[in-house]
Amino acid sequence: MAKFHKQIDKPLGQILVERGVISNGQLKKALEKQKRDGGLIGEIIVELGFAKEEDIAYCLSLQFGYPYLSLENYEIALDIMGIIPKNVASHYCLVPIDKISNTLTVAMANPLNIQAIEDLEDITQCDIQIFVSTPSDIRGSIEKFFGK
């Protein structure tokens, strides 16, 4: 199973503030909304319009040491995309991007989703390597391959 290896021992919100993506005030508002409504802080920050998905994905990649990959102009081979069923890709917001030997590389919006990684290992019988990408890029790749 893929092991999570946190590179920066700071919360995502703090990383976003330190990098100048959001202000302390914006972080406070996002944390209040998270406490009230639940959800992932990165998604809340995007929903509130304080940052772009790319900013969140990039900071997640810094925080956990996974590389960031923009899928906007990335062509995924048909045989690779077919490795994971559409419902699994959609449910976990991920797409396969490459397979070498017994290692499947996937782009995920949430690299902390251990259940997704375990399910992929069970479905594919592969070791999983993670890249971080935006939910919009991943959904676009799913729609491009499988259709709406």
pLDDT for residue 125: 95
The answer to whether residues 1 and 118 touch, using CB atoms and an 8 Å cutoff, is yes
Q: What is the pLDDT of residues 42-77, one digit of tens each?
A: 999 999 999 999 999 989 888 888 999 999 888 888
pLDDT for residue 8: 63
pLDDT for residue 147: 77
Q: What is the rounded end-to-end Cα distance, in angstroms, of the chain?
A: 31
- Res 32 pLDDT > 60: yes
The fold of the 78-146 domain, in CATH, is: GMP Synthetase; Chain A, domain 3 (3.30.300)
- Res 27 pLDDT > 70: yes
- Res 118 pLDDT > 90: yes
Q: Residue range 125-138: average pLDDT?
A: 94
pLDDT for residue 7: 58
DSSP-based three-state secondary structure for 6 = coil
H runs (alpha helix) in the chain: 12-18, 24-37, 41-47, 53-64, 78-81, 86-92, 114-124, 135-146
| 65 conformational bin, left if phi > 0, alpha if psi -120 to 50, beta if neither | left
pLDDT for residue 9: 76
